[in-house]
Every structure is written in C-alpha cells, then in structure tokens.
C-alpha cells in the first residue's frame, strides 16, 4: 500500500516538473 502511494507521489512530482519545464520553455520563446 505504501509503495502504491509513493508511486502516485512520484508520478505527480514528474507531472508538475514537466508542466513547469513546458511553461518555462514557452516563456523563453516569448522573450
């Protein structure tokens, strides 16, 4: 059960990381 929770946290962390990276790249394109 704890492994499943840590797996979900890992996915959420990577999703947030990918979204923030995407928005930072969009901001660089605008400049």
| pLDDT tens column, 19-31 | 999 999 999 888 7
Q: What is the pLDDT averaged over residues 9-25?
A: 97
The whole-number pLDDT of residue 23 equals 95
What does the block give as tokens for 4? 């499943």
1 has pLDDT over 80: no
More confident residue, 29 or 6: 6
Q: What percent of the chain is modeled with pLDDT above 70?
A: 100
> Mean pLDDT over residues 14-18, rounded?
98
Tell me, rounded to whole angstroms, the distance of Cα 30 from its chain centroid. 21
């Amino acid at each position: 059960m704890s492994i499943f929770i840590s797996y979900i946290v890992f996915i959420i962390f990577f999703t947030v990381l990918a979204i923030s990276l995407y928005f930072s790249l969009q901001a660089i394109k605008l400049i």
